[in-house]
Structure 1
Amino acid sequence: MKVSGYSGLVGRPAGALASAAVLVALTALCGCTVRPPDAADGKGNDSPVHVGLPHSRTPGRTPDDKPGRTPAQTPAPTPSVVETTPPHIVFTRGDSGTGVRELQARLRQAAWLFDGPTGTYDDLTAQAVKGFQGKRGLPQTGETDAVTWQRLLRMTHEPGKWELYLMGGQPAAAPDPRCLTGRVLCISKTSRTLRWMIDGRTVSTMSVRFGAQYTPTREGVFQIYWKSRHHVSTLYHSPMPYAMFFSGGQAVHYSYDFAARGYAGGSHGCVNVRDEAAVSALFAQVRNGDKVVVYW
């Protein structure tokens, strides 16, 4: 007996045929892969037959899954490498200007720098920055990057003019009209600077400080009347190297105290210079009889 469509089930009882038909129908509804009983490919291997609904997909598989791979077998994506950009460098060795002067003034406030401000990013400044960075767990580069600068800004206040120019270096004031002719030591109390001028041309400029409250430096027009290279004050017994006297005991001269303390101190009426090389060069050029103008 042969049943159409089931050539492999010859001689099977009708009940078995019915059971097989029901199984195939249920399996088709479930979308499973089955084979009819005893079906063979002639080589002794079972040959699965996929019986499923049109356009169906295996449960749990997304359209992008490759055949034969379950979601659990999909390898995790390789994490991307995160590259960190070094902080922007604000100031570094060799820089100069008002920004560096502010940095030095703020480092002085934080007690990491005891020299300056000079306006030049030197080795002392780099060492101070490195110490500040190390104390706060920042990379100790000695360079002032954006992170270091912002941290310093939060810890300090904006320095005033006195703090910025504690050791001198402020721009010189415009020369007094009386300084525009001849050979003149043109000294401004406002900017605390001395211009050495010849016929209206500025030859050199240097920072100076003046007398204290009770020993003020006199203002007016004077003349150099005596020069003394290794002078020592007979009144105060203090050294006054490169002294150029212009009014009584008042002179322009180099000051060790000014070099060490800046404007934290004052003179007994003299015009102090902190740059020894500059005042040495000035001493060599100035002659007795040259004019001195002290003005506000």
Structure 2
Amino acid sequence: MGVIRRRGVVALGVTGLVAPLALALTTTPAQAASCTTRTGPYQKQVEKFLGRPVDGKQSVTDCKAVQAFQTKHGITPSIGYAGPVTWGVMDLMNKQKAVGNKPNKDGKCPVNKGRIACVNLTLQLSWIQDGNRLVHGPVPVRTGRDGYETRTGLKKIYWRHIDHVSTIYNVPMPYSQFFDGGQAFHSVGLSVWNPPGSHGCVNMTTKDAKKYWSLLKNGDDVFVYGRKPGT
């Protein structure tokens, strides 16, 4: 999080890099690399998502597949347990995929503003549209966690800094495009599905953040709506 000085106005820059919250199922660092033999409450759903035989029973192979998914997306503890956080990420991925190339099918993001960046907190998706025409996306994003929610409503990009660094957390926020106080689009060096979320910013992959940087400019509209699961 960094202090932004612009024309005498001081705004608080909020970074999206947040340490994941531990699940109720705890483990020690020495145990983290080991697979659990426990069958999780979402075993069948997780098995289906990963293309495993759906029998609802934990196996060594099941555990290793779940553990690899958890490690990739920063879900802790990464012991291969098919719990609610792991399934929650997978379920969100399924819902995002189902949107296809019609992210504004519900018409909630304004089509009378010209070029606008839309953020659907419920589905953790963002896209850029121009009227009814989809310009880019949808792309998965990582928005504010509980207590640090990305604020909803119609906003405008007011400041851009390609090499911004948070002065509070001392972490990079590349391709930052600020649209509401310290809340900005910017890239992160971790999975955009990493729970529990950011400190308010809209985190993106480097590829997507670069594309947004090339497509948007100061004064462009941003519309944020919905509610992130768990907030």
Query: Does the TM-score normalized on the shorter chain lie above 0.5?
Result: yes
Any idea what SS the aligned residue of 1:257 has?
Answer: coil
- Taking the TM superposition and a 5 Å limit, the aligned residue runs for 1:104-253 are 110-112=63-65, 114-115=68-69, 160=87, 162-165=89-92, 169-170=96-97, 171=99, 172=103, 174=105, 175-204=107-136, 205-253=138-186
Q: What is the letter of the counterpart of residue 182 of structure 1?
A: G
CA deviation vs aligned residue, 1:144-184 (integer Å, no higher than 9, x gap)? xxxxxxxxxxx979984532446995424534242453110
Percent identity over paired residues? 29
1:267 counterpart residue number: 198
Pairwise CA distance, 1:102: 1.4
- Separation in structure 1 between the aligned mates of residue 172 and residue 62 of structure 2, nearest angstrom: 31
Q: Indicate how the Cα distance of structure 1 residues 263 and 201 shifts in structure 2: closer, same or farther if over 3 A, else same.
A: same
Q: Post-superposition shift, 1:216?
A: 1.2
CA distance in 1, matches of 2:224, 2:90: 24
Whether the aligned pair in 2 keeps the contact of 1:173 and 1:190 (CA below 8 Å) is no
* TM-score, length-scaled by structure 1: 0.46
Matched, 1:294 2:224: yes
CA distance in 2, matches of 1:222, 1:280: 20
Deviation at 1:190, TM superposition (A): 1.2
Q: Does the residue aligned with 1:202 lie in a helix, a strand or coil?
A: strand
Does the CA contact (< 8 Å) of 1:220 and 1:295 recur in 2?
yes
Report which of the two has the higher share of helix: 1
**C-alpha separation between the residues in 2 aligned to 1:182 and 1:251?**
20
Aligned residue pairs total: 159
Moved more, 172-181 or 231-240: 172-181
CA-to-aligned-CA distance 1:123-151 (integer Å, 9 cap, x gap): xxxxxxxxxxxxxxxxxxxxxxxxxxxxx
Structure 1 stretches of 5 or more lacking a match? 1-99, 119-154
Question: Shift of the alpha carbon at 1:235?
Answer: 2.4
Residues 157, 272 of structure 1: CA spacing in aligned structure 2 closer, same or farther, 3 A cutoff?
A: closer
Q: Deviations over 1:52-89 (max 9, x none)?
A: xxxxxxxxxxxxxxxxxxxxxxxxxxxxxxxxxxxxxx
User: Matched residue of 2:65: which SS?
Assistant: coil
**Contact conserved, 2:162 with 2:175, CA < 8 A, in 1?**
yes
- Which structure has the larger Rg over C-alpha atoms? 1
**TM-score (ref. length: structure 2):** 0.58
Between the two structures, name the one with larger relative contact order (CA 8 Å, sep ≥ 6): 2
The residue type equivalent to 1:110 in the other structure is: C
Judged with a 3 Å threshold, the aligned counterparts in structure 2 of structure 1 residues 255 and 179 are, in CA distance, closer, same or farther, namely: farther
Compared with structure 1, are the counterparts of its residues 250 and 203 closer, same or farther at alpha carbon in structure 2 (3 Å cutoff)?
same
Contact map agreement 1:253 1:272 (CA 8 A) in 2: yes
CA distance in structure 1 between the aligned counterparts of 2:195 and 2:175, rounded to whole angstroms: 22
Greater than 6 Å deviation, 4+ residue runs: 105-108, 155-159
The answer to which structure has the higher strand fraction is 2
Residues 1:228 and 1:104: Cα distance change in structure 2 (over 3 Å): farther
The answer on whether the counterparts of 1:168 and 1:207 sit within 8 Å (CA) in structure 2 is no
Give the gaps of 5 or more residues in structure 2: 1-46, 55-59, 73-80, 227-231
Q: Residues 167, 270 of structure 1: CA spacing in aligned structure 2 closer, same or farther, 3 A cutoff?
A: farther
